[in-house]
Structure 1
Amino acid sequence: MQASFIIDLGNKSQIPIISFSATSPDLTSFRSPYFFQATINDSSQVKAISAIVQAFGWREVVPIYVDNDFGKGIIPYLYEALEKVDARIPYKSVITPGATNEEIEIELYKLRTMQTRVFIVHMAPDLGSRVFHRAKEIGMMGEGYVWIITNGMTNLWSLIDLSDMDFMQGVLGLRNYVPRSKELKRFQKRWKRKFLHDNPGMLNAELDIFGLWAYDATFALAMAVEEVFGTTNFHFDASNASQNGPKLIQALSRTRLKGLSGDFGFINGQLRSSIFQIVNFNGNGENRVGFWTPNYGLVKSLNFTNLTRYSISKTNLGSIIWPGDPQSTPKGWEIPMSGQRLKIGVPMRTGFTEFIKVTFDQSTNSTIFSGYCIDVFNDVMKGMPYHVPFDFYPIKFEEDEDYNKLIDLVVYGNYDAAVGDISILANRSLYVEFTLPFIQAGVMIVVPVRDNETKNAWVFLKPLSLDLWIASICFFVFMAFVIWVLEHRINEDFRGPPLYHVGTSFWFSFSTMVFTQRERVLSNPARIVVVIWCIVVFILTQSYAASLTSLLTVEQLQLTVSDINEMLRKGENVGCQNGSFVQEIVQDYLKFDPSQMKIYNSIEDLNQLFTKGSANGGISVAIDEIPYMQLFLAQHCKEKYTTLTGPNFKTGGFGFVFPKGSPLVADVSTSILKVIESNRMWMIDEKVQKQGNCASDSSSTNGLSLRSFRGLFLIAGVTGVLALIYSVAKFLYEQRDVLCKRDIGISMWKRILQVLRNFDQRDLTSHTLRQRELRDEDCIEIVQIGGPLEILAEAPGEASVEAPIEAPIEGVDHANTNNS
């Protein structure tokens, strides 16, 4: 746009305009004699692009270009060049210069739904890097894709950030070839030296092709000026510019020189077409794979001595690493993902319709497809990055047919895909492509259970784990010791002979379990400790009672079959689903005789076989894939079935089936992961299986562990320790005279023994003991002193008063009274 404006000014002022950066072919449409395009026109590279397309046999190409004059200028020439090599452009992808990442992704997703996999990118490096970044994220830089960039990006390779190289692995690029010469090498050294002097902060600056064109254009202009004005007494008069302009035009048109960029000269105001270098981006750089020349086409080197004709053979190019790192050449197209509706085959089941159900609605004359697999597939296709139209088609099975019929129908092209509870197996994967499993599967063994009426005599120990029993007993002993220490000196209930001390302390501690302790605690620290400990004991006893109640009331169930080998010895029957590959496992690996196998088609059939039992033509166990068995257990909790631990057989799970090489498989698998990681899959599981849970009914309650009560024990322990520290510290402070007295003859050991004897004595200063003494002083003592009975009365604060008793005391036999 700038060039077109300047060209118009040049025409009006009749002054030559020289551009060394504008490459659009549209500029030639001005047909201005004053415009000199000192660059290689973009239209000159379309022949090189068409030669590459023809060499690899690609028939369709989609250009991705920026929506401005630079981007649109090349398109008409590209159409014409591709048409000559029998290739066409089915679609043009236009990216606006200010496009957001979301707008770029929308356009790229649209390209993914198309058949073409060859793209030509023509835009500036900054926008092109963003396009490749988005393409990498949505999976368009993988195997099967071809990306070719024009010299608009490759010539400015130094402007592309190194981090963006990771998104351009396998890309082919065209670059204007610059022959190496001594003059170019010397000039680059001088230029870099001066550039670093003027810009000391930029260390990795490189001179690109546009800088070389600018230098050569300036040199050519200087030569033209010397030709017109001479080298002496040079003077330019701006007022006579219109007169000097035509002379400069003629001089520039005649100028030829060996420039830094190669042979430099104008023909009709344009540089002659040059050689293009073909590069392949891989790793952190580029690999030169060949050249394109106007005279010889694709060549591996510029040695023309053995070349006689124009060649478009890909053997003239070096090895190319394509996107996704495959060595084989991409075919350039995939099966179309738009413009037609996929035919999806769905099996018609008679049982386990929770997974697949096909019904015919007579009122609307339509077939209704439902079930777990259909719900998952619909959600997966909604999550696809592009729209994929499809229709379901029911597939009927004969009595002796299995799901291998589905595989054959997809292999032979009758259907584009198959959806259902189709197990991913190795032998099936040889013929079709499976998506990632949407159900993780395996083989499960289900057996009935019967009541076990015998109860364990030691069941009362199970509510608490061993560590919790040990911790509880230790804390009872610890609390007994704490209470004794805190109450021994001030409480008569905790005094007496040593055995009485121990018995009373332990009795008090253990009686807190039923809160029947008779002894009173008198000190405040002891009261705090007892309150905390009572809370702990209350919570512990209540939890024990609840857990024991659960143990005694939940039915104790026993397996009817404990070993598969036992069934084989007894000749008991096993159940298998009709048409399931599990039948092969039962026969080949578990070694069951075919006569021992009973076939079922639905959950109801399986339940009836279990009800009959093996002795009456039924079964003792059922072996099937996990999804079916989980569904059976979810719907028959009351009959008490459970799983049996036995041989562990893994399977790939349920997956959707596509033909070999289908490009949809990767995208469908990615969408499956998104559905699995979202809550949508949980909602589908909830809808189908109703979240029935038999395992919780037949399992025993786990014992309570110490971990559940460690917080309570920690609080009680800390409280007891703090009370002990307080009590002992107070006592030692009171005994400081005993411990610290300076009697030379008394050793420290004797002092400690004296302190311990003092601890065993009553604390007469205690408030509780003083109250006890006051009550004792209020009583009357009756004694006999050598004669008649006397009453000694003593009032507080008064002297004792003796008074003889004149009259005999009623109820006392004075005659038999002795001196005792």
Structure 2
Amino acid sequence: MPIISLTSSPSILPTYQLPFFLLMANDIKVNIQCIAAIVNYSDGEKVVGSEIDHHLSFPSQSSVSEHNGAIEQELRKLRSNSNRVFILVQSSIRYAEEEEYSNPSIYALRAYDAAWTIAEAMDKSPANATSKELFKQMLSSNFEGLSGRIRFRNTTLLKHLPTFQVINVVGPIYWPGGLQTVPKGWTSFEFDEDKPLKIGVPDRGAFNLFVKVSYDQGINGSYVTGFSVEVFEAVVKRLPYRLPYVLVPFYGSYDDMVEQVYSKDLDAAVGDTEIMAYRYQYAEFSQPYLESGLIMVVTAKPDKSKERWVFLETFTRRMWLITIAIHTFIGFVIWLIEHAENPDLTRFGAVLWFSVTVLFFEHNIDTLLRTNASVGCNRNSFIVGYLINVLGFKPKNIRKIDSINDYPDAFRNGDIQAAFFVVPHAKVFLAKYCKGFTMTGPTFKLGGFGFVFPKGSRLAFEFSEAILKVMENGEMPRLEEYLLISNNSCSQSTGVSDGLSSSLGPRPVAGLFFVSGGISAFAFLVATVRLARRHQHFIGAKLNGLRTCAFTFLTNCTQFVEFRFF
């Protein structure tokens, strides 16, 4: 039998089970367009990017045994999505008891037109017409009904734009939880508001200005502060949704904390966590909120009155004297070789001189490696592995330090000759201990500080966008400046040294001096012998001339003395 549906969102069976199904209702999109127009009107000129993501029809009270339970179940489905704004529309604009015979609702009028469609099709069909023939007559209907023009296309009522009437709008809005401010409209699909994110923070970092975990016996719990936490809170405010979270102190290393995010024991991690390539196998990272790099800090004794000649402090006085002497000697050897007219020896001497010069100013990290010097770094940091695997330090020469305050004693006691920090940590250290310490050497570029999220997490992208917003509005530089100023206990600026300590002595390069000096002496000897052989006759003539001159001088001198005597 032909079936006519009057609902706008029917639950229908496949077409092969209902071959004569006729939908006599406006497409649900028309209702959606009406709601979208209302939302757009309420937005005014603000561009908020609102859109209708999902629609749902609640069952009628007579169709289910437990009406409230069915509605609650459907609402839970909506809550599982990212939507947080719901518009409730009555299925009929007027309630049934409000209808009057003189002013029926659109649905009553549509039911009348459906009955008229059937009656007209039966009137045009023969008495023994089949269901197929009757259905064909219904599809060919074309008349002006009480609800509008009745025409069908592909078993669906031909679309026309109906006129909707707004009967009532609820005035005061009651936000969930009794909030006075308008809540953010949507949330991430990755978490449930009833279960806040567990975000790990490092509890044993050497620099607690970035993350500091304090324990309050009064509340029998802990609270977390620091630069990284303030940045995180500023970024969360820029998210387009409310993010429920709880900060959980983590007592292991930074690598362990990243792996906890990978194993889902933590939902994310916040702190001065360096973005490293090898960590991407465990987690995703946000856009870096602070640039970073690996830098070396050494002891230094800057003298402002001699800043113009600070390069002289690179070597000790003895080192400078030896350097000047050996370079003068090598330069004389090169000059002598050139006069010996031996281009091979000239090139050899020039290469020797250049090699010695370069080796004198050899980078101090290589000096540390060659002299088996001890260096320090944060115990729980990636720097330990970086020093071993990348820079080539021996594990026995690496001192693992727990706190920023332990570095000065380590330098003073001779436990370390240099310390390696990431640049933000080095700035904080020098802001507190600028007297006697300085950054030196090149900066090994790293990924920067970022927040850690599970692999494939959409939060990493959303946080990156929010971080850029914080940076662009100037809030990030203000936070960083406050971080350094609050920890600045020095009145003078730090200097920059190119040496391992304030001065480098000759001992680390004594072997180089012996080798270069020996080779230069050998070259000098060879050049002298060749010059002597090549100019043997010239030298003999000069010697004869000197003897004649000396004899003449002595003779004249004797005559002069005799004259003065008489």
TM-score by length of 2: 0.49
If asked which structure has higher relative contact order (CA below 8 Å, sep 6+), I would say 2
The structure number with the bigger radius of gyration is: 1
TM-score normalised to structure 1 length: 0.35
